[in-house]
Amino acid sequence: MEKDQLVLVTGAGGFIGGHLVGDLLTQGYTNLRAVDIKPLSDWFQLFPEADSRQLDLRLRSDCSEAAGGAEWIFNLAADMGGMGFIEFNKALCMMSVLINTHLLLAAREHGASRSLFASSACVYAAEKQERTENSGLKESDAYPAMPEDGYGWEKLFSERMCRHFYEDFGLETRVARYHNVYGPHGTFDGGREKAPAAICRKMIEAQPSGSSEIEIWGDGEQTRSFTFIDDGIHGTNLLMTSTVTEPLNVGSSQLVTINKLVDIVEEIAGVKLRHRYKPDAPQGVRGRNSDNRLIRKRLGWEPKITLEEGLERTYRWISDQMKSPARTRTAAMA
């Protein structure tokens, strides 16, 4: 695609979407439309070079406005968060199906040539994730279907919508199954944050308060892999520009326990806290990891940033945000 043709990024006020807009500008794309439901003042990253709009993409009319003239569409818009949010907001998570449905209709209506859907490792069958020792989830492990209730079902259904729009209408679709993407310029409090950001925040909060402990959901032995945002954006771009129409994992295969995740952040912070476990807290599946054989074969992609390096960059950013005068004033007014 020519770099002066219109590219639409939805969810642009959020974490991955904001980084994607910045990366596309760095690559030299000059005609970007950035869309999110949040007021522009609440976007994590706002770029003056982009046509930034506040729209509610659950509405077909707003999707039509967003997609008008777009050649490529990156759909990263969804009502989502970490496990604490997903567990207690299943209906809200499933309502995101309106976004992808209306956006695919708008893409077809306006003649877009390609659309990428941001899916999730939550589509994978629960029976494949019952043990902490997880060698990696292959793309085929999404079936027989038994995804995460609510959020995972919406993602899996939307994947099928993409597939059938390609088969029936010829709209080129791409599907990225993200595995726990984290990094700076994302949510770290308020209930929607994911484990890396939550642990960094808790560690930072403990130090000035003199607390000697940190709360960990579950027993800390559940396992996950975490993908730094720069690697995730690189994988996303490779997938979008490829000829691959099947879903692909975009994730790290560096499996760690949540306890190990806390240990790494403790080392970065230079403190050691007592671990207080909360076994009744939402914790999701027992073990989840990314099998990268297919994306490595099809796109030659593999994450380059280690968990240790990515967490340090994330911790430093969150620390700076929590110490900023603007945040202090906001907290005092709350």
What is the SS3 assignment for 209-232? HCCCEEEEEECCCCEECCEEHHHH
Q: How far is CA 334 from CA 70, 173, 329, in A?
A: 40, 43, 9
Tokens of 139: 């793309």
* Cα–Cα dist 203/198, whole Å: 9
**66 within 8 A of 8, measured Cβ to Cβ:** yes
**Which residue, among 21, 103, 24, has the nearest Cα to 56 in the 3D structure?**
103
Which of these is catalytic: 29, 124, 143, 151? 151
Q: Are the C-beta atoms of residues 184 and 313 closer than 8 Å to each other?
A: yes
Give the phi and the psi of residue 276 in degrees, each rounded to 5. Answer: -110, 115
Catalytic (active site) residue 151: yes
- Half-sphere exposure of residue 188: CA atoms within 13 angstroms, side-chain side: 26
**Residue 235 phi, psi (nearest 5):** -60, -40
Displacement of CA 268 from its chain's centroid (Å): 24
Cβ contacts of residue 203 below 8 Å, gap of 6+?
A: 214, 265, 266, 269, 271, 273, 315
* Residue that is written with structure tokens 């945002």 in the block: 229
Helices (H), the chain: 15-27, 60-67, 83-88, 90-94, 97-110, 151-169, 195-209, 229-240, 258-269, 293-299, 307-323, 325-333
Q: Match 């077909």 to its residue by tokens.
A: 60
End-to-end CA distance of the chain: 47
Q: How far apart are CA 160 and CA 311, in angstroms?
A: 34
Catalytic residues: 151
